[in-house]
Chains A and B, each alone.
Chain A
């Protein structure tokens, strides 16, 4: 049973526009959330994280929003650039020090010229 769900397998966005990637989770014990980015033939690389005590965390062009009551988080990328084309994995854990991270299936983002 999937605890972290990324319901959009793929997403296409025009270069320069905003990309919004969504993620839902079912386990109310999750307290820490992460986004990883993965290029083909490479391992995932950490992008941004958020603790449940916050509802927003920003790092440059990347912002993660957390809605705990809805068990929903989203990653906003603005403006979208060609190098953002990749697979994005949402992940969650019971705390920031918990090594058992549960991953979603990923969303493939295509940035169109």
Chain B
């Protein structure tokens, strides 16, 4: 079973600040993902990566950016936070083998004032 960690769990911050949400996994998974979820709504894929130095945008347009310099680490950055960025952000990873399911972290709940 994958161990995947997200920090911080909760963040309340003012408009205009630069924010980095951390995601790390210890299982050596090549594939990693970021989802955004508003309360009572679907999870939307915003970024994914197939491995080091690989990043792709997901189906939902996002002003955030990601990087993948190390296999285990997939941080998400917002250069200038706005109230519209208030949401829950979920990180996931999976093995690069056929039908392996995505394993999720516990999420970061972000509130921009």
Contact = CB atoms under 8 A, between A and B. Distances in A.
B99 A49 contact: yes
B24 to A, nearest CB: 14
A18 to B, nearest CB: 24
Given A32-B99, A46-B103, A103 B33 contact: no
A45 interface: yes
B42 A2 contact: yes
B14 interface: no
A59 interface: no
Contact of A103 (B4, B6, B43, B107): B43
A42 B31 CA distance: 21
Contacts of B62: none
Contact of A44 (B40, B45, B90, B98): B90
Contacts of A88: none
B12 interface: no
User: Which secondary structure characterizes the binding site on chain A?
Assistant: loop
Contacts of A43: 4, 6, 90, 92, 104-107
A49 B94 CA distance: 15
A25 interface: no
B65 to A, nearest CB: 19
B42 A101 contact: no
B58 interface: yes
Nearest to A41: B106
A34 B42 contact: no
Interface in A27-45: 32, 34, 36, 41-45
A97 B4 CA distance: 21
Contacts of B34: none
B106 A42 contact: yes
A100 B43 contact: no
Interface string B71-111: 00000000000000000001010100011011111110000
Contacts of B44: 103
Contacts of A51: 99
A32 B101 CA distance: 11
B58 A100 contact: yes
A32 to B, nearest CB: 7
